[in-house]
Amino acid sequence: MSSTQVFAELAYWQQTGIRVGAALAAVLLVAGALVYMHLFKAVSFMQSRLGPMEAGPYGSLQLLAEVGKHIQKEDIFPTKADRFVFGAAPFVVLASTFLLVVVVPAGPDAWFIDSELGIYLGLAVSSVSVLGILMAGWGSSNKYSLLGGLRATGQLIAYELPLILAVVGVVIQAGTMNMADIVYAQANGEIFGLGIVGNPYILTQGVAFVIFLIAMQAELAQAPFDMPVAESELVTGYMTEYSGMRFLLFFIGEFATAGVFAAVASVLFLGGWYVPGIDPTADVMNLLGPLVMLVKIVGLTFLVFWTRFTMPRFREDQLQRLAWKFLIPIALANIVVTGVLKVAF
């Protein structure tokens, strides 16, 4: 009896419960691992310091201590804040992360929803976070927050386009928007008759991959695209007035979103849970797949945080110019070339 059959015999609420639990674990554990590995340790070594060392062996429990600290803090509402909008904003941002994670498969049966729309749905729900950020900026009744919220909105809308256009190239080549089928297409593909490693689309869609990474960096509002939080200009932008638990939600959202976007990128360009030599539909991949995905996520997010702590930030107009004058034309050209080659071969 395969795992799919076992799962299918459970009641609907049991299936949903398992999925919700798995989604929570997937997002929060990955976010925690990324915070520890990248923010606490990798970045510290780049900056010639050790990072947290006291809480737990090698500082590994530092994140728990931070969470405990934030939970204890007072949840401050500014006097003139729009209380409902201000209070709801972090949840909206986090909701968009959780909605995005449901489209990402981590194994042949390890998925939350198996939708034919797949990546299309994912990119649509990822835009919801703009709403949350705008709510935070407006609801805080703080000028820095307002500027940060408006900057974030302009930036995220500008970089949705190259993100989507980069994905279109992959979708054309795979011939499907279903995320699992994109993985199979890469596993079964071959380049110039060589099928040993399959055909991870980073090889044929390299341009789209670079555009996707840049747009992802901007979507995540990490330097060099961190004008919305620009701590030397706007204090912390739309997060300025938040404290305690709600600040923590924004913080988790930032890293969880980085992890989820990296998961999407690894499915689209790095072959998802596929490793050369193992049949991607084998049952064992349900256990091995999430680990393979985790390795790819850690690698991709390392690129994100490496860039973040190396680059200065763009100015708002320079960022818009980069999106509209460079990334979007290149992404469009990539689509045309992909389409032509798809028909030719």
Partner 1 sequence: MTAVSSRQQLNYIAAQAADARVNLEIETEGMTLNIGPQHPATHGTLRIVAKLDGEQVIAADPVMGYMHRGYEKLSEVRTYPQVTTLVNRIDWLGSFANEVPFILAAEQLMEVEAPPRAQWIRTVLFEMSRIANIVLFLGDMAVQVGAVTPVFFAFRDREHILNQIEAATGGRFHPNFDRIGGLKDDLPKGWIVETKQVMKKMRSFCDEIEELVMGNEIFQARTRGIGVVPADIGLSYGLSGANIRGSGVDWDVRRDGTTGAGGLVHSELDWRVWTHPDGDSFSRFWVRLQEVRESTKMVDQLLDGLPSGPIMAKVPRIIKVPAGEAYVETENPLGVMGYYVVSAGGLVPFRVKIRSASFNNMSITPWLLTGVYVPDIITILGSLYFILGDIDR
Give the residues lining the site for partner 1 (CB under 8 A).
46-49, 143-144, 147, 223-224, 226-227, 230-235, 309-318
- 306 exposure class (CB count in 10 Å sphere: 0-12, 13-18, 19+): middle
Show the tokens assigned to 123.
């990119």
For the bound state, the minimum distance from the C-beta of residue 141 to partner 1, rounded and expressed in Å, comes to 13
For the bound state, the minimum distance from the C-beta of residue 250 to partner 1, rounded and expressed in Å, comes to 18
Residue closer to partner 1 (CB basis): 49 or 80: 49
For the bound state, the minimum distance from the C-beta of residue 225 to partner 1, rounded and expressed in Å, comes to 10
Residue closer to partner 1 (CB basis): 147 or 174: 147
Beta-carbon contacts of 12 under 8 Å, excluding residues fewer than 6 positions away, are none
Beta-carbon contacts of 143 under 8 Å, excluding residues fewer than 6 positions away, are none
For the bound state, the minimum distance from the C-beta of residue 151 to partner 1, rounded and expressed in Å, comes to 8
Collapsed DSSP state (helix, strand, coil) of residue 50? coil
Residue closer to partner 1 (CB basis): 9 or 317: 317
For the bound state, the minimum distance from the C-beta of residue 223 to partner 1, rounded and expressed in Å, comes to 5
Query: What DSSP state is assigned to residue 70?
Result: H
Beta-carbon contacts of 107 under 8 Å, excluding residues fewer than 6 positions away, are 273, 285, 286, 287, 288, 289, 290
- Residue 204 · residue 170 · CB < 8 Å: no
Collapsed DSSP state (helix, strand, coil) of residue 342? helix
For the bound state, the minimum distance from the C-beta of residue 214 to partner 1, rounded and expressed in Å, comes to 13
- Residue 201 · residue 209 · CB < 8 Å: yes
Residue closer to partner 1 (CB basis): 283 or 316: 316
For the bound state, the minimum distance from the C-beta of residue 327 to partner 1, rounded and expressed in Å, comes to 15
- 291 exposure class (CB count in 10 Å sphere: 0-12, 13-18, 19+): middle
H or E stretch covering 19: helix 12-34
Residue closer to partner 1 (CB basis): 152 or 263: 152
Q: How many CB atoms lie within 10 A of CB 284?
A: 11
Q: In degrees, to the nearest 5, what angle opens at C-alpha 191 toward C-alphas 189 and 195? A: 55
Enumerate the β-bridge partners of residue 191. Answer: 194
Residue closer to partner 1 (CB basis): 143 or 342: 143
Residue closer to partner 1 (CB basis): 54 or 317: 317
Residue closer to partner 1 (CB basis): 82 or 316: 316
- Residue 114 · residue 179 · CB < 8 Å: no
For the bound state, the minimum distance from the C-beta of residue 47 to partner 1, rounded and expressed in Å, comes to 4
For the bound state, the minimum distance from the C-beta of residue 303 to partner 1, rounded and expressed in Å, comes to 16
- Residue 186 · residue 271 · CB < 8 Å: yes
- Residue 209 · residue 269 · CB < 8 Å: yes
Question: For residues 192 and 18, what is the distance between their CA atoms, to the nearest angstrom?
Answer: 43
Residue closer to partner 1 (CB basis): 233 or 283: 233
